[in-house]
Amino acid sequence: MKILVANLGSTSFKYSLYNGDESSLSLVARGGYERVTDYGATIRDALSSMQAEGHIDSVDSIDAVGFKTVLGFEKTGCVAADESVVADLRASAELAPAHNPAYANGIEQFAKEMPKAQLVALYETAFYQWASAASRRYAVPKAWYEAGVRRNGFHGASHKFVAERSAELLGREDVADRVRNLYVGGHESFEGQPLRVVSCHLGGSSSVTGIKNGVAIDTSMGLSPQSGLPQNNRVGDLDSMAVTYVMKKLGLSIEEVERQLTKESGLLGLSGKSNDVRDIWEAVEAGDKDAELALDSLVYGIRQYVGSYMFQLGGLDALVFTAGIGENDTGVRERVCQGLEDLGLKLDLEKNANTRGEETCISAEDSRIKVYVIPANEELVIARETSRFLSHNK
């Protein structure tokens, strides 16, 4: 089985071609385009390139296309990417303006270019559909909730991968098997010994998720990717009254407030220098106090969510770092884990300092709570879920 994973941005298109089934998928080809103005032409060019390079015999050789759709009002989970999905993405585009229109357009273009392929959408919100109502509701009027104002959660593919892989590393195949079958088999009751994991997806966009027995109980992002931790240039958590206050105090329009919250806030707003943690570390080492504040705020936010989920879970078996910062920033990992020995978490400083981008356990031998670095692989997750969807919907 050949599965094409399409990663669509407002002006970008990246693809990964996999071959095999859900248990043995191998990467065959990868490519990408920037400054895309015509998705149809770009898709045709990508398909021609894969054919010319011998990865596919024809367009019809590809069995399915998987999409990492972000957010919908009416849909979640892993579903057929049909006209109803396109309509759902467009209806909720205001909350994900950089992604939803691109995926809606891309799905339509793929349907035209590859009419025989099964199109599958894996929503980023899918991993959170079984979280409790208390964790998903805001304290707003019911009409707001019915209009879509709720805590959705994002980075679902990444956190689901961590849930499955951490269970495997901890020798809990019962939990790993449960995670594999969440979207095709549903959320079934679990009678085994509890497995409690906190997953930290830290990158340009960051979130923390609490996971019990392979299922998310809560996550730091809410209605949109604006919330939670300080993002690269997005604000993170903010008191809602701040918006109306600065509009009156600084004379800002709602459009300007939105621009500043999405373009000039987060780590960039705190540091005043950069939204890249590598640049911020350089400024910290040069004695820049604003850069130090940006780094401290990020670490503080991560620890705040980790502590909250540890309490909700009733303890912790593993803390996992993933994505660009999580996999490569030894200093952030060390600061997050600092001073937690009395809670049963002890970092191996040497292992941590020498771990960048590879799967490793970086906790000390006598640490009760395991600490892992697990590289993110969202494309593989989408390919696996697409394969499972096809297998269960023949």
Annotated binding site for Mg(2+): 7, 378
Distance CA 176, CA 75 (A): 25
Distance CA 291, CA 281 (A): 7
3-class state of residue 91 by DSSP: helix
84, two tokens? 């109803």
For residue 160, give the nearest of 94, 76, 98 by alpha carbon: 76
Q: Which residues sit in the known binding site? A: 7, 14, 276-278, 324-328, 378
Question: Residue 148 — φ and ψ, nearest 5°?
Answer: 110, 5
Residue with tokens 């959408």: 121
Question: Residue 296 — φ and ψ, nearest 5°?
Answer: -60, -40
Distance CA 173, CA 274 (A): 42
Please check whether residue 90 is in contact with residue 101, taking contact to mean a CB–CB distance below 8 angstroms.
yes
Write the Ramachandran bin of 197: left for phi over 0, alpha for psi from -120 to 50, otherwise beta.
beta
With the C-alpha atoms ordered 179, 67, 229, 242, is the resulting torsion angle positive or negative?
Answer: negative
With the C-alpha atoms ordered 266, 290, 279, 285, is the resulting torsion angle positive or negative?
Answer: negative
Q: Which residues sit in the known binding site for ATP? A: 14, 276-278, 324-328
61, two tokens? 């050789």
Distance CA 193, CA 48 (A): 51
Please check whether residue 369 is in contact with residue 317, taking contact to mean a CB–CB distance below 8 angstroms.
yes
Q: How far apart are the first and last CA of the chain?
A: 13
Distance CA 314, CA 331 (A): 28
β-pairing, 13-19 with 360-361?
unpaired
For residue 324, give the nearest of 204, 154, 162, 156 by alpha carbon: 204
